[in-house]
Structure 1
Amino acid sequence: MALKASSPNASRSPSSSSSSPLLTLTLAFIAWKSFLLLLSCGGALVGPDYDTSTSLFFARSSSSSSSATLLARRLTRWDAIYFVHAARGSNDGSSAPVYEQQWAFSPALSLFLRWLASQARRILSLHGNGDDELEALAGIALAHASHAVAVLELHRLTLLLTGGDARRALLAALLCVISPAGVFLSAPYAESPFAALSFAGVGLLFAVEALRAAGAFVKAPGRVSLAVAAAGVGGVLVAMGSAIPQYVAYTIYCGGGSGGGEERAAVVRPPWCERTVPSIYSYVQDVYWNVGFLRYWTPNQIPLFLLAAPVLTLLIASGYEVLRRPAAWGLAPSSPDHRVLVQALAASQAIVALLALTSYHVQVISRLASGYAVWYWWIAACLMDKSRRGVGRAAVIFMVMYGGIQAVLFSTFLPPA
């Protein structure tokens, strides 16, 4: 899809934006993050941790009471333990997951955290004494940096898709700051990098168009071939991100490769090895997390459906309305290509919400929503429209309240997670 920045309101182009929005976003980001971190660190005042996984995980560490140590321990909760454990590696230095259920988590984040921690150890001349929190701290730093990048990317993307509407762009970016993903965007989780990469991927469409404009000598058939090739390469890269870990797992557990796979397979061959598509990812999601169509529809999960209801409603309602009439919400005011792009983003957002409602743990939708732009734009439009301002304000109040309460619950190992 060939994309160019919208032509209306050229005088308000992104390049002419003053430093005021950047300052506003920076101050809002620092204030919100400080608020969440204070709540997380103060969670110990509420009561003891519901689960002892974190204390056991850091059992080797010194009993330091430094702020960094406290922060690492308060934010290494739930799935963050898997990411940080994988970043540490096994005792023999192997990067392969130690436990079967760890294959549910992409190794990319853990490998990057391991690299960041190794660089920190080298720079700080640490040699294993009192540095067990480094991987967790690296994850926390990466989460904050990625979230900040996502906010700035969304601001820029909104300017491009609205013809330079500075107010709408600022509102959307501020909403991204207070995303209901909350403290998950501060902890060693994949949500912040996901949001940053998601918005960057959309923004790259404009960068590609700029390169094409610079190379105007390329004829139309050449541009079409370039677009097809780019889509093909992108698809292959996405597929490799899933296929490579599955192949590694198959060689380890099912044989057919080096690394002791044949010996391990001779001892015990997991049932997923015999499936038509031998995917360890789908197996552990099925066995360890009970993921599947309507499997979460049980009476004991009703509270989690109620907690997820506001975000599900926002995602589905905004996705549906923007899919029908993107221009009515101030998006893609003149460009057919922009309209198709916005509608595709709206459709994908609604599909993810519907899948959360039917097929996987519904409470994680508040975290996944952080990487989708349409609902931020929709709430921003509500705030700018007198007839819908009440809806926008209610959404903001919910986001702030949910983020604050969630920070306390997360830090004490209580759901939702």
Structure 2
Amino acid sequence: MQVKVRTLERGLSIDSSPTAHSVRNGSPNAKSRREDLTSPDLRIVRFAVVSRVTVIALSVLSDWIIPDHNPDTSVERLSTSRWLMAFTRWDAARFTTIALEGYQKEEDYAFMPVLPMAMSIGTRTLGILVPHIGPSATVAIGLVITNCCFVLAAWLLYRLGLLVLRDQLLAFRSAMVFCFSPANVFFSSVYTESPFAACSFGGLLLLELNRPWLGALLFGIGTGLRSNGILNAGFLAYQCLFIIVQDLQRGHTLLRTLVERSRKHAVLMLGVTLSVGPFVVFQAYAWQKECYAGDACAEAGECKLSEQPPDWCQGSMPSIYMHVQKKYWQGGLFCYWQLKQIPNFALAAPALALTASGVHHILTDFGRQLGRWTEVSCESKPTPRAGAALYRAVLVCPLLPHALHWGFLATYLLLCANVQIATRVLGSGCPVFHWFLASLLFSRSPGKTSRLLKCYIGIFNCLGIIMHPNFLPWT
């Protein structure tokens, strides 16, 4: 029986391989069945490892061959081994400095603490065995963490695709496309993209396996890696709404479903709190460190001018993250929309265009299914149950929550953030980005779109490896 993934592929049959057929329908030979199940997993892991080794080697070679650009003096720099200099550029230097010295500068608070904490713990542990280690060891530990997380993320993306797409071939191809991500160079540097992808994909996989607590725990770690991790709490909230709609179409009242499913709703809402919590705790830590200490010395009358509490401390809901983003990275609604930023918008344009196309297809399909089931409900029953059509439309469109998350994140990046980070943020946080990209690349009727996407992936991979290790501005 052939199954089609709605919106991802226009008429593309996703059950076209013998392997996919055997996974769904089983095999009379148990050994063969086990081989069918494990072989794709091993191939993905091997390919992900090879891709990381390749990116790391090419980055080092690029750093050696091409002279470094000298950015302005405000950019963090780090002195380390010649072999590791390619991985200390831009944010990587900031993460390493925080791991070594803690949060010393105001702008450091734009970077969430989990990766620096992991690097710091690794450095101290290694220091017990090897005394007198320097910053190079911290960078090396960061590289090990991020690249191991990438391999894990590729495998988790495949496993998640099997459950959501119900198609082994497309899930496998999506994991392979992930290994050729346009933001590849960031996945192998000391950046949060790889660990965040592992947490996001893993959390979503656990939700599909009906393990919301463990999923929320991974979402929480992801929030401790990147602030946009708080959006993953939306998947837990979506499950709550789905349960309500499911009960409504069965004829239950809203009050009844809230009472009878109170335990399930409580678990999911606590999961939302767990997902968002690390961001709130980090803001509280910054407030205590930067504001409370200043207030104490002011009361004692011993403050110097430089020790006075900063202005952001006086806000009704003080957030150093929002303050730093606005002050140093032009964060805020339309703040980044300046003529001089046109090149950065051009860098983000392909990822944003893919997002617009993918979200449009998924939402259009959902609207079509909703209309169809509404008509069916009205024809079959004079007084259709509330939520019946919505419930059925959601069931046949499992990508709906992914599309909502994908579209919201892209819209925020376009309107409120330094937009050039869109490629790596969407690539690390949205599995549907890779599902949609793979469906276009491997369409049965490849045309101009497929060729353009292959050029996009190839060009961004090459330029990333050339520009990023040499301190040139890149997404």
TM-score surpassing 0.5? yes
Task: Answer 1 or 2: higher relative contact order, Cα 8 Å, separation at least 6.
Answer: 1
Is it true that 1:126 corresponds to 2:130 in the alignment?
yes
Equivalents in 1 of 2:298, 2:450: separation in Å? 56
- Give 1:298 deviation, angstroms: 1.2
In the alignment, which of 344, 347, 350 is matched to residue 407 of structure 2? 350
For 1:87, the equivalent position in structure 2 comes to: 99
In the TM superposition, residue 186 of structure 1 has moved relative to its aligned partner by: 0.6
Aligned partners of 1:72 and 1:136 also within 8 Å: yes
Q: TM-score, normalised by structure 1?
A: 0.81
Distance 1:264 1:326, change over 3 A: farther
| 1:184 is the counterpart of 2:194 | no
- Deviations 1:167-190, CA, capped at 9 Å, x for gaps: 111111011111111111011111
* SS class of match (1:133): helix
Which residue of 325, 330, 335 corresponds with 2:365?
Answer: 325
1:369 to 1:341, Cα distance in 2 relative to 1, 3 A: same
Q: Which residue of 2 aligns with 1:92?
A: none
- Judged with a 3 Å threshold, the aligned counterparts in structure 2 of structure 1 residues 360 and 260 are, in CA distance, closer, same or farther, namely closer
State the Cα deviation string for residues 8-39 of structure 1 (Å, max 9, x = none): 98852498543332343234323322332233
CA distance in 2: counterparts of 1:356 and 1:364, whole angstroms: 8
Aligned twin of 1:116: 122
Unaligned runs of 5+ in 2: 1-14, 27-32, 214-256, 369-390
TM-aligned CA deviation for residue 48 of structure 1: 2.8
The residue type equivalent to 1:185 in the other structure is F
1:154–1:373 CA contact under 8 A, matched in 2: yes
Alignment partner of 2:23 out of 8, 12, 15? 12
Which residue does 2:229 correspond to in 1? none
After superposition, the C-alpha distances for 1:237-262 in whole angstroms (9 at most, x for unaligned) are 2232111111122122222xxx6762
Q: How far apart in 2 are the matches of 1:108 and 1:356?
A: 22
Rg larger in structure: 2
Matching residue's letter, 2:68: P
User: Structure 1 residue 254 and structure 2 residue 256: aligned?
Assistant: no
The whole-number CA distance in structure 2 between the counterparts of 1:325 and 1:194 is 29
Consecutive unaligned residues of structure 1, counting only runs of 5 or more, are 1-7, 62-68, 90-94, 212-219, 329-333
| Within-5 A mapping of 1:44-59 | 44-51=64-71, 57-59=77-79
Q: Number of aligned pairs?
A: 376
* Cα pair distance change 1:237/1:401, threshold 3 Å: same
- Which amino acid is the alignment partner of residue 169 of structure 1? A
Distance, in Å, in 2 between the alignment partners of 1:323 and 1:28 is: 33
Aligned to 1:149, what secondary structure does the other structure show? helix
Of 382-391 and 310-319, deviating more is 382-391
Conserved in 1, the CA contact under 8 Å of 2:312 and 2:323? yes
CA distance in 1, matches of 2:350, 2:42: 30
Which of residues 47, 72, 97 in structure 2 aligns to 1:28? Answer: 47
Work out the CA distance in 1 between the residues paired with 2:146 and 2:93: 15
Corresponding letter in the other structure for 2:60: C
Secondary structure of 2:309's aligned partner: coil
Does the CA contact (< 8 Å) of 2:331 and 2:418 recur in 1? Answer: yes
The answer to whether the 8 A contact 1:181-1:369 is kept is no
Q: 2:206 corresponds to which residue? A: 204
Q: What letter corresponds to residue 55 of structure 2 in structure 1? A: L
Shift of 1:302: 0.8
| Greater displacement, 406-415 / 392-401 | 392-401
User: Is 2:295–2:308's contact at 8 Å kept on the other side of the alignment?
Assistant: no
- Compared with structure 1, are the counterparts of its residues 162 and 55 closer, same or farther at alpha carbon in structure 2 (3 Å cutoff)? closer
Of 359, 364, 376, 2:421 maps to 364
Question: Which residue number corresponds to residue 64 of structure 1?
Answer: none
Give the equivalent residue in structure 2 for 1:65: none
Moved more, 242-251 or 48-57: 48-57
Gap change, CA 1:102 and 1:55, over 3 Å in 2: closer
Distance 2:97 2:145 in 1: 16
1:401 partnered with 2:413? no
2:282 is the counterpart of 1:245 = yes
Q: CA deviation at 1:337?
A: 5.8
Q: Return structure 1 stretches of 4+ with deviation > 6 angstroms.
A: 52-56, 220-223
Matches within 5 A, 1:109-188: 109-122=115-128, 125-129=129-133, 131-163=134-166, 165-188=167-190
2:154/2:178 contact within 8 Å kept: yes
Superposed counterparts of 1:199-238, under 5 Å: 199-208=201-210, 224-238=261-275
RMSD: 3.1
- Provide the C-alpha distance between the structure 2 equivalents of 1:37 and 1:237, rounded to a whole number of angstroms: 35
Partners of 1:52 and 1:296 in 2: CA distance: 19
The question of whether the paired residues in 1 share the 8 Å contact of 2:23 and 2:37 is answered with no
Give the Cα–Cα distance (whole angstroms) in 2 for the partners of residues 88 and 103 of structure 1.
15
Match of 1:39 in 2: 58
- The question of 1:381 aligning with 2:439 is answered yes
Change (3 A) 1:105 1:348: same
TM-score (structure 2 length as normaliser): 0.72
Distance 2:110 2:76 in 1: 22
Query: 1: distance between equivalents of 2:267 and 2:59?
Result: 43
Distance 1:20 1:327 in 2: 38
Deviation for aligned residue 1:385: 2.9
Distance 1:374 1:87 in 2: 32
* Amino acid aligned to 1:239: V
Query: Partners of 1:397 and 1:47 in 2: how far apart?
Result: 26
Contact 2:87/2:190, CA 8 A, preserved across alignment = yes
Question: In 2, distance between residues paired with 1:352 and 1:136?
Answer: 30
Q: CA deviation at 1:284?
A: 0.8
Q: Which range moves more in the overlay, 390-399 or 75-84?
A: 390-399
